[in-house]
Structures are given as structure tokens and as C-alpha cells.
Amino acid sequence: MSFSASIITLFPDLFPGPLGASVIGRGMADGLWSLSTTHLRDFATDRHRTVDDTPSGGGAGMVLKPDILAAAIDAVAPQGDPRPRILMSPRGKPLTQARVRELAAGPGAVIVCGRFEGIDQRVIDARQLEEISIGDYVLAGGEVGAMVLLEAIVRLIPGVLGAAESHADESFENGMLEYPHYTRPQAFEGVEIPAVLTSGDHGKIARWRQAQSLALTQARRPDLLDWK
């Protein structure tokens, strides 16, 4: 069974968008993962196909109605569906490569994209939605966040990128940022490739890269080293 992603959204036309391009899109064409979208509005029950209502207690904006969203979730992921149910949300746990790796090893994900002010809390609780944030800023909707999440997941699915080692060394995989890369020409605007990289000494190259990774991480993201 390949990784199966189901998106619940008010803007299904946004998909696959960037997920249809390059290696991610090819992975889908090759059957390594699949994507389906469900239009939340299809679950509205009134003539106007209403999905939102004013916030209880007052305030700006609109809130997605719990009954409509629950019906959509239950249709997409009936009881017994093993996939985690995720809600894209700025209040969620910040997404990490570790969570991405776990999700990539699983059966797929059901992803709810919020819009407006947010979502009635009762459906988040009742359907045990895992809230995931893609960063400390506020987007207009969950769709771009869902694409970020899926792109990060899908590139880890075996066969999507070329060799398995393509991501072994990458930023965050070992709790550090990646070392700098170089390629020809040998001199670019008067700057040479670091000599160690053209020395042919693989042990020395590995140690240099490790030291560069550590120095970069200490300088830019000391928080990544905190737990060590």
C-alpha cells in the first residue's frame, strides 16, 4: 500500500499545484503516493451551501461549522481508517523533520485545511485532529501548509528521490544543518572550491563537512543542539 493523502479543503482546485511537479509529481504518476481532494462545501446541507458561521461570543471573521466538517472527515476517513487526521493550524505543534519522517513511514494522512478565523473547537476534539503548524506566522488558509507538509513527506518515500542516501546527510536529519556545497568551475569570481573537497581524501572530506555542519548549526540554529 502506497502513501495515501486525502485533503479536505474549500479550494480543491489548488491541488496538486506544486505537488504535481518534478520528482513529487513523478512519484504520484509512478503510484508511489496518491492524492485525493474533497470539497468541504459538498457536505453543506442548506441551499446556500454554507460552511461557516459567525463566532460565538462575537468578534471578527467566520468559523468553520463543526457538523459540516465532521461529515466530511467521516466520509473521507471512516472509523478504522489508520491514517492520522491532521489539521493545519498556526496553533499546532511546529512541524519537524522527525514528524515528517514518521508520517512518511505510515499509511498516509487526512489533512484538513482551515480557512477564515478557524474551526469550531468541538470537531477538533471529537475527531482528535492533530494540529500541525508550518511556522510562527499566519497564512490565509491551510492549503499551502498542506502542500508544504506533503512535499516534505513524499520526498522521503522510497523511490521518489533517486538514491536512498540523497537525504541521509541533509539538514535536520542528524539534528544539524547541512554543510555547504560546491561544484565546478574551480574558481568562481576569484573564489576557489575549498581545497579539501578536491583532495580525494574521503575521511578528511567527511570530517570537514561534519565540522562545517556543526559550526553552521552553532551559529544559526543553536536551539537544534540544545538537547545534546
114 binds ligand SAH (CB under 6 A): yes
**Distant-in-sequence, close-in-space partners of 69: CB < 8 Å, separation ≥ 6:** 8, 40, 43, 51, 112, 119, 120, 123
Measured CA to CA, the distance from residue 17 to residue 19 in angstroms comes to 5
Least spacing, CB of residue 224 vs ligand SAH, in Å = 20
180 binds ligand SAH (CB under 6 A): no
Considering only residues 8 to 27 of the shown chain, the ones binding ligand SAH according to CB under 6 A are none
Exactly one of 133, 150, 153, 217 binds ligand SAH (CB under 6 A); which one? 133
Phi-psi region of 222 (alpha: psi -120 to 50; beta: other; left: phi over 0): alpha
Q: How many Å is the maximal CA-CA distance in the chain?
A: 72
Sheet (strand 3-9) strand order: 33-39, 3-9, 108-112, 85-94, 130-133
Q: Which is nearer to ligand SAH, 85 or 115 (CB)?
A: 115
From 87-95, 152-160, 191-199, 203-211, span contacting ligand SAH (CB under 6 A): 87-95
Measured CA to CA, the distance from residue 179 to residue 209 in angstroms comes to 5
Residues 139-178: x where in contact with ligand SAH by CB under 6 A, - otherwise, as a string? x-xx--x---------------------------------
Name the site residues for ligand SAH (rule: CB under 6 A).
88-91, 113-115, 117-118, 133-135, 137-139, 141-142, 145
